[in-house]
Amino acid sequence: MDTLFAERPHFFEGQYLGADDLRSLLDYLREQDARQRLAGRSWGVLSGIEIVQSADPAGAIQYSLTPGVALDGHGRLIAVLAPTRLDAALFALQPSGLVNVWLRHQEASAGGVRPGFEVCNAVDAYTRVSEGFVIEVGLRNTLAQRESGVELSGVVFADARDAPGTSLPGQPVALDGSVAAQLFPNDDEVSRWLIPIGRVPWQQGAPGTFTAADDTAKKLSLIFRRQAGVFAESIIGAGGLLRLRARWTERAVGMSNDQLAAQQTPREQDLIPCHARIEPSEAIWLEEHTRLTGDLRLFGQRVEWQAAGGTDYANQGVVLALRRAPLANALNGEDLQLLLGAPVLGPNRLVIGQGTLQAAPVDPCRPDFDFVPGVVVQQDAKVGIGTEDTALAHPLTIRPDGAEGQALALQSAAGTVLWQINTVPGAPGFNITQSDATLSNLFIAPGGNVGIGTSVPEAKLDVRNVPAPQGNALGAGKWLQVGDGDDFGRMWLQYGSQLAPLMVLSDLDDASRIQFQQVGAGTEEAPQFQSWIGQARSGSPDLALSGGRVGIGTFTPQRLLHVEDEVHSGGVGSGFSFSSRNAAFVNVPAAGERWVLYADGGVARLWSGTDKLAVDASGRVGIGTTAPTESLDVRGNVRLGGVLPYFAVGATDNQRMLSGRVVEAGNSAGNGWFSLRTGTGLYQVTFSIPFDIIPVVTATLVDPLADDNLICLRGVSQTGFTVVIRDIDGGGTDAQDSAFNFIALGPRL
């Protein structure tokens, strides 16, 4: 195995030194320097080289690059030593919108010798190589337009990001693109590497002009920009302290640079004596907002929330921390402990509440929120809801809220309130009700009286809220009565001092009913108002409703039968039948006088004389058939549109079709396809979802450069096809780019 990675010249006394020797030394130093630059960082902008907006003397917008240093993927430094204005002529051919700005390294021979001092090799006639940079603008969509790739282990990688992981298991990708072990290109080789600097808004015209960048343009420019990074297994704070913070510090009125720097200097209280030396109290300072996209694990340690003045321990402050208990709990399990600390003046609490964004935050770059407390957990484990201004004395304290004094709700699985506890209506008390907090099912008054149907009980148990009807001879002074009637089958549910019946079940051998009645001007046996549910006649199981409108799931029925929830019909003759409004009941309708919605054989059907509409268990709908084979199966014509008589297209095969337009540049995408230009006059179109079999594909040119181009297809497969475009003037051999349309049609299996 060849372990040689570099060769440097070795000098000795009396040695003749030529240009090759000096060039060898220079190549060695440049190569080692480039490796060192790429070994610990990724390529990109190292510092500076910002795009800034300004105005020229005439008031027109212009953009410039600030001084700075960048590093490309071949380890070459690019230094912008003075503000450099972006020339509008570079953007002349760019479309309106945000235009990419790139920077690349450039070098050229310089310092030519005077005539008569040249040597045979023309290259030797120059004594210097000047290094500089070139600004480029535009899309640069393909990788070959942006970089020349790298050579590693004798293999040229067009994408440098593939090179570092090519020999590793799974061949991971190094997205930083830094390859320190590459074979660097020689000076006479073309080595292109573009560095994204940012994006500027441009308005095309004659002449074109720069436009002002809004916040969206600035964000997109920052996203496009490539900033160099650092990577290493460990970062060691030389003085025991590692600080991560933004580079820029905003100026403050009345403060010098020294004063701003002093604010960021560690204070005496940040240092503690430890291990016979002075060390920072914390080794790592994260001085900016921090984002974690992976897990954060603390091994036997804790997270503390300290006061702004410093360490709570050192200042005898309150300890607020979260930690995993060092020992198992009494049940042999593990505890996550939230430390609220011992109280000093008042209770320490964990407060959960609502935050709303401040309308005018102190620092507009660091928005804060206004906090409305809700749930409070005191340091002694007492819990309060809505009690933020009260010290808690009970394990659970709830302060009712709202006009009805709402305190507790029990919901169904769907989120509907089933029961709730509040303190009103009436004088403050303990109220249990259902969805309406203004009503009462059970109320306990402050004195201990209990009301059912009333929030102002006048006795230890007070049942009300139903008006008392006329007198009843069956009993007196009873709230509930179960007694023998004729045939010993009567049951009375009664209320009020008059014992008016609410429900009657009777008789043993006559028609049994549940009866609802108001005596009114009648008698108990013949009330003025009544309705009932029961057998319609003796000796019959038929169910009848009588007496007026019936509401199921509603207190306000709008029809004779008003149902606010599911209506179910089962059995052999199950179904839901309804007649036309202008027709009487017809047993076998011939003209749609009556319709039946029913199910049979796992298929829902709409019937009137015959089945007209069907839906099977898979959700397929059939019109004119009860056995649909597709999501919508229509046995007949399909008409579309409200005005024009459009009809659906029919076909004997189940076809899938894709179509689209590929632009001349080649990189296009549409619904179900995308394309790439793989060479001059050569395009590859790929189907996002392959056809079941090889489809039929046709393509036509769109606005070619000349009218003498030919287009042909090859390599048509289930996954895509290749398009070749040639110029006839060259005998069909000259490739030429052109936009084209295509259609792909193939059956579904």
- Mean pLDDT over 156-160 rounds to 94
Same domain for 157 and 92, yes or no, is yes
Identify the pLDDT of residue 116. 55
- The single-letter DSSP state of residue 106 is E
Structure token pair of residue 89? 């002529």
Helix (H) or strand (E) holding 197: strand 195-203
Q: Which residues pair with 656 in a beta bridge?
A: 746
Per-residue pLDDT band at 497 (split at 50, 70, 90): very low
**105 in any annotated domain:** yes
pLDDT in tens, 575-592: 888 888 877 788 888 888
Tokens 């040119």 belong to 701
Say if residue 593 is in the same domain as residue 726: no
Residue indicated by tokens 């390859």: 179
d(CA 109, CA 93) in angstroms, rounded, equals: 30
Q: Which of 503, 536, 563 finishes a domain?
A: 563
Q: Kindly state the average pLDDT of the residues 165-189.
A: 90
Angstrom distances, CA of residue 706 to CA of 453, 726, 727:
91, 11, 8
Q: How many domains does the chain have?
A: 6
The C-alpha angle 120, 124, 125, rounded to 5 degrees, equals: 90
Q: Is the pLDDT of residue 568 over 70?
A: yes
Q: 65 or 342: which carries more pLDDT confidence?
A: 65
Same domain? For 643 and 664 the reply is no
Within this chain, do residues 138 and 167 fall inside the same structural domain, yes or no? Answer: yes
* Token pair for 419: 């029961």
Mean pLDDT to the nearest integer, 129-149 = 94
| pLDDT for position 508 | 62
pLDDT bin (cut points 50, 70, 90) of residue 512 is low
Query: Per-residue pLDDT tens for 66-88?
Result: 999 999 999 999 999 999 999 99
* Residue 257: CA count within 13 A, CB half-sphere: 1
* CA-wise closest residue to 512 among 493, 494, 538, 492: 538
| Peptide bond connecting 207 to the previous residue in cis, omega within 30 degrees of 0 | yes
Give percent of the chain with pLDDT exceeding 90: 40
Q: CA-CA distance, 438 to 458, in Å (whole number)?
A: 19
Q: Cα–Cα distances in Å, from 407 out to 100, 165, 410, 514?
A: 60, 61, 11, 38
Both tokens of 466, joined, read 């139903």
Q: pLDDT at position 141, please? A: 92
Residue 572 burial class via C-beta count within 10 angstroms: exposed 0-12, middle 13-18, buried 19 and up: exposed
In this structure, the answer to whether residues 688 and 626 fall within a common structural domain is no
Q: What is the mean pLDDT of residues 700-714?
A: 79
Tally the C-alpha atoms within 13 A of residue 227's C-alpha that lie toward its C-beta: 8
- Per the DSSP assignment, residues forming a β-bridge with 514 are 505, 533
pLDDT for the residue numbered 536: 65
Helices (H) and strands (E) in the chain, counts: 4, 53
Q: pLDDT of 643-676, one tens digit each?
A: 777 777 777 778 889 999 999 998 999 999 999 9
* 684 pLDDT more than 70: yes
Ramachandran angles phi, psi of 100, nearest 5°: -70, 140
pLDDT band at 44 (very low <50, low <70, confident <90, very high): very high
Is the pLDDT at 3 greater than 60, yes or no?
yes
Question: What average pLDDT does range 280-309 have in this prediction?
Answer: 85
146, two tokens: 């942006």
If pLDDT is split at 50, 70 and 90, which confidence band does 718 have? very high
Q: What CA dihedral angle connects 94, 100, 101 and 105, to 10 degrees?
A: -100
**Is the model more confident about 739 or about 275?**
739
Look up residue 122 and give its two tokens.
Answer: 């023309």
What pLDDT, in 10s, does the model give residues 345-404? 899 999 999 888 888 777 766 677 888 899 999 999 999 999 989 999 999 999 998 888
> Is 210 found in the same domain as 133?
yes
Across the range 587-606, mean pLDDT stands at 88
pLDDT at 659: 93
Determine which helix (DSSP H) or strand (DSSP E) holds 259, and give its type and residue range. Answer: helix 257-263
Please compute the mean of the pLDDT values over residues 685-711 and round it to a whole number.
86
In a domain, 146, yes or no: yes
pLDDT at 411 over 90: yes
Distance CA 310, CA 302 (A): 17
Contact call for residues 319 and 312 (beta carbons, < 8 A): yes
Q: Does a structural domain hold residue 208?
A: yes
Q: Give domain status of residue 60, yes or no.
A: yes
For residue 122, pLDDT beyond 60: no
Confidence at residue 189, expressed as pLDDT on a 0 to 100 scale? 78
pLDDT at 215 over 70: yes
Count of beta carbons in the 10 Å neighbourhood of residue 104: 19
Which residue has better confidence, 705 or 639? 639
Q: Which of these, 490, 470, 468, lies nearest to 479 by C-alpha position?
A: 468
Domain shared by 164 and 187, yes or no: yes
Please, which residues have CB within 8 angstroms of residue 598's CB and are 6 or more apart in sequence? Answer: 569, 574, 575, 576, 604, 605, 607
Residue 674 is part of which domain span? Answer: 655-747
Amino acid (1-letter code) at residue 314: A
**385 in any annotated domain:** no
Q: What pLDDT, on the 0 to 100 scale, is given for residue 485?
A: 45
Q: Name the E strands within 207-270.
A: 209-210, 242-244
User: Which pLDDT score is estimated for 473?
Assistant: 40
Domain boundary among 207, 224, 241: 224
In a domain, residue 662? The reply is yes
Name the nearest CA neighbour of 281 among 293, 266, 271, 292: 271
Residues 145 and 214 in one domain: yes
The pLDDT score that the predictor gives to residue 36 is 92
Say if residue 108 is in the same domain as residue 192: yes
pTM (global) more than 0.85: no
What pLDDT, on a 0 to 100 scale, did the predictor assign at position 509? 65
Q: Is the pLDDT score of 499 beyond 60? A: no
Strands of the 195-203 sheet, one edge to the other: 126-137, 97-112, 195-203, 209-210
Last residue of a domain, one of 417, 448, 463: 463
**Domain co-membership, 703 together with 623:** no
Does 483 score more than 90 pLDDT? no
Residues 96 and 210 in one domain: yes
Report CA Rg, the chain.
43
What phi, psi does 357 have (nearest 5°)?
A: -60, 135
**243 within some domain:** no
Let me know whether 532 and 663 are in one domain.
Answer: no
Q: How far is it, in rounded angstroms, from Cα 512 to Cα 506?
A: 5
Q: What pLDDT score was predicted for residue 730?
A: 62
pLDDT computed for residue 488 by the predictor? 45
pLDDT given at position 696: 94
Q: What is the pLDDT of residues 422-479, one digit of tens each?
A: 988 777 899 999 988 888 889 999 888 988 888 888 888 787 764 444 444 443 333 4
Categorize the per-residue pLDDT at 520 as very low, low, confident or very high, splitting at 50, 70 and 90.
Answer: confident
Backbone torsions φ then ψ of 35, nearest 5 degrees: -65, -40
637: in domain: yes
Location of structure tokens 């649909």:
628
- Share the mean pLDDT of the chain: 84
